[in-house]
Amino acid sequence: MSSDPESFDIPACLVQVRGNDQAAACELVDHLYPQVIRIVRGRLPRRMAEEDMAQEVFLKMFTRLDQYRGDVPFTHWISRIAVTTCIDELRKQQRRPELRWADLSEGEAEMVQVVTADDNAEQAGDVLEAKELLGKLMDQLKPDDRMVIQLLDLEQKTLVEISELTGWNGTLIKVRAFRARKKLQKLLKELDSQERS
């Protein structure tokens, strides 16, 4: 079987994997690894290595392989497993204690000041600090709400795409997004008021 990602024949490989062909199983893992790792990155719980998470995803894939009927492309199916595994792992992890001003790094504290400033002009500040700060704020959310913000606002996926990945309907996604944004705004405001006081 060709290892070229473009010409990789997934259905043929699946037939071999179902026939306990370990070499084909290895090829399948190698082929899907970049896709799985892209999904896992950014949705990773704290203190968990992305490789461990990817391993969890692939183990689930092999366990549930008999359930795959070919109704959707295999890559969609594995993406959904990856997203639900991330949500399960986020649920397992204990919620971070309340985020305080003192928990922020210097750059993150500066970023709070920058984004809470009233003007809309181009502002200074490292974008990586913004990502770190948002990550800390998102750690305060429920896993499902966090996932919605990640997919909808950061990765800018459509409701249909999120629905395919998570199995949630459009209304539920909108409700979760609304609730999560409200909570994030409140947290950001609290941090700002702590800084002012």
Partner 1 sequence: MKKNTTALDRLMDRAREASEITQSNQEEIAVPLGFATRVVALAAIGNARDSIMALIERRAWRALAMAGGIAAVAVVVNLQPVTEAIEDDLMTAHDPVATLFDLS
List of residues contacting partner 1 (CB under 8 A): 22, 25-27, 29-30, 33-34, 37-38, 41-42, 51, 54-55, 58-59, 62-63, 111, 114-116, 120, 123, 125, 127-128, 130-131, 133-134, 153-156, 181, 184-185, 188-189, 192
Q: Give min distance, CB of 36 to partner 1, in A.
A: 10
**Closer Cβ to partner 1, 169 or 185, answer by number:** 185
**Closer Cβ to partner 1, 66 or 71, answer by number:** 66
Rounded Cα distance between 83 and 147, Å, is 9
* DSSP percent split of the chain into helix, strand, coil, nearest 5: 70, 0, 30
One-letter amino acid for residue 187 of the chain: L
- The DSSP symbol for 100 reads -
Q: Give min distance, CB of 73 to partner 1, in A.
A: 20
Q: Give min distance, CB of 97 to partner 1, in A.
A: 21
3-state secondary structure 37-95: HHHHCCCCCCCCCHHHHHHHHHHHHHHCHHHCCCCCCHHHHHHHHHHHHHHHHHHHCCC
**Closer Cβ to partner 1, 12 or 128, answer by number:** 128
One-letter amino acid for residue 131 of the chain: K
Which residue bears the tokens 């913000």? 149
**Closer Cβ to partner 1, 12 or 26, answer by number:** 26
**Closer Cβ to partner 1, 41 or 91, answer by number:** 41
